[in-house]
Chain A
């Protein structure tokens, strides 16, 4: 099994990244590449679906911090959905829920872009 997976689906002008496995300092560059590809294609409305992610460290959270300003400056956002309680707790410890739109499921994330 691959230790980290990222798959992309485009829904009109919104791109959804489905991430799975574990996101640490070793695998964070894979997520960086996926987000960079979206930016290169001028796709700034991004949903990250965490449904299959089992582990995250600060290196993983750092990826979102590294891109959010550029994305918001281009009228976009990174919205996050389907986090397990374990993953959400790490985001919560670092105060992310006040700065990022974290919702229960992808449908809600799509609605929040409208």
Chain B
């Protein structure tokens, strides 16, 4: 059991109302962001997440998809789709965003020192910071030109009970 699992077991996890998978395959274009957010928010709501966590999942997914839409494909790319997969199983929601574009080395993108970062007024790059802050786990599986995946997990926690535990 990982440290994250232990933390959330202690925080009185609750079972989701159902288990299963939902998948959306969609052209990699920013005018689809609203549709993607709606899809993710509806599933998270159905699972039983509180409005605050639904907002976090929605925003993290937006940031992951925006990265794909902005950077994964160039004009010559033929297949410019992206997949959003939501898996619901015991205690958690797993969100997987997959593309077949250029990919990147996640190790070259450190968590920014926000104060310095903002002081230098760097535009962009805040999305990855937000994803790591909003979700309980974020990891990458990058195979440039083949398949790039961002996997993010949010645990379903009974907020009232977890407050009592703390």
Contacts and interface: CB of A to CB of B under 8 A. Distances in A.
A98 B66 contact: no
Contacts, number: 65
Given A61-B126, A86-B55, A24 B66 contact: yes
B163 interface: no
A33 interface: no
Contact of B121 (A24, A58, A68): A68
B118 A57 contact: no
B114 A95 contact: yes
Nearest to A58: B126
B37 to A, nearest CB: 8
B123 A95 contact: no
A14 interface: no
B150 interface: no
Which secondary structure characterizes the binding site on chain A? helix
A61 B123 CA distance: 9
Main SS at interface, chain B = helix
Contact of B118 (A26, A59, A90, A99): A99
Interface of A: 3, 22, 24-26, 55, 57-59, 61-62, 65-66, 68-69, 86, 90, 93-96, 98-99
Interface of B: 30-31, 33-34, 37, 55, 58-59, 62-63, 66, 69-70, 114-115, 118-119, 121-124, 126-127, 129-130, 133-134
Given A3-B34, A62-B123, A65-B118, 8 more contacts: A24-B34, A24-B62, A55-B58, A57-B63, A57-B130, A59-B66, A66-B121, A98-B118
